[in-house]
Amino acid sequence: MDINNSVALVTGANRGLGRAFAQRLLERGARKVYATARRPESVDLPGVEVLPLDITDPASVRAAAEAAPDVSLLVNNAGIQTGTDLVTGSPAAVRQELETNVFGHLQMIREFAPTLARNGGGAIVNILSAMSWFGGRGAGAYHLTKAAAWAMTNGVRLELAEQGTLVTAVHLGLADTDMAAGWPVDKIAPSDLADAALDGVEAGSAEVLADQWSRDVKSRLPLTPEEFNTAMDHALAALTTT
């Protein structure tokens, strides 16, 4: 798929990674970029077409699909992290993360899949995380949702292959956004993450490991759980002491 002359829709485009995606899409020649947010007035990027969208509200998702019948590239970026543990944390917070990070993305795919089919197949980009593969205290719910979103991405890729829709999973460690502001470590620039993802789409890639952290974590998956946890403990300790 060629980004130039594409028509893209980006969720959560008012800040952070979503805003960077919308900006890089414009700079790389997209014919139109729908920039969506729950508060559309918060989108401040010139040159985009702004749409209101709450991905946890099926009626809002359906309205966005009806307003954007020409989309050929869907970027599922919107997400939340509540800092909730699975055993002792709020069940409502766990469900909120699932509704946004998993079911919200799936609802977008279900509504826009027919649009993509009519427009030649197109592509879907799902922004995931290295935390698809590991968890930690204060991030159990986030790990759960990203692992589920990874499985969901792999599943819809198979289901949409026949209509010619590329589904690209994008994994990263930390990006230099508000969500990661409290971590004094190296982070990928949002524009670099967007370029890595869009390069992956143009190359027809099913998966993009956008930084060394995500590549290192995935390389440990063949280890036993005990070996994996020990390796991650060492990696996290090194990360927070450098």
HSE, side-chain direction, 13 A CA sphere, residue 234: 9
pLDDT digits (tens, 9 = 90+) for 93-117: 999 999 999 999 999 999 999 999 9
pLDDT digits (tens, 9 = 90+) for 33-55: 999 999 999 999 999 999 999 99
Which token pair is 107?
Answer: 């609802």
User: Looking at the predicted structure, is the pLDDT value of residue 75 above 90?
Assistant: yes
What global pTM score does this model have? 0.93
Contact status, residue 160 vs residue 112, Cβ threshold 8 Å: no
Please write down the HEC assignment for all residues of 169-216: EEECCCECCHHHCCCCCCCECHHHHHHHHHHHHHHCCCEEECCHHHHH
pLDDT at 59: 98
pLDDT at 236: 80
Mean pLDDT (the chain) is 93
pLDDT at 179: 61
pLDDT at 234: 87
User: Looking at the predicted structure, is the pLDDT value of residue 182 above 70?
Assistant: no
User: Looking at the predicted structure, is the pLDDT value of residue 198 above 80?
Assistant: yes
pLDDT at 240: 63
> Average pLDDT of 216-232?
95
pLDDT at 235: 86
pLDDT at 184: 52
Give the domains, in start order, of the chain with CATH numbers: 7-211 (3.40.50.720)
Active site residues: 142, 146
pLDDT at 174: 80
pLDDT band at 223 (very low <50, low <70, confident <90, very high): very high
Contact status, residue 108 vs residue 125, Cβ threshold 8 Å: no
Which token pair is 151?
Answer: 């499985």
pLDDT at 127: 97
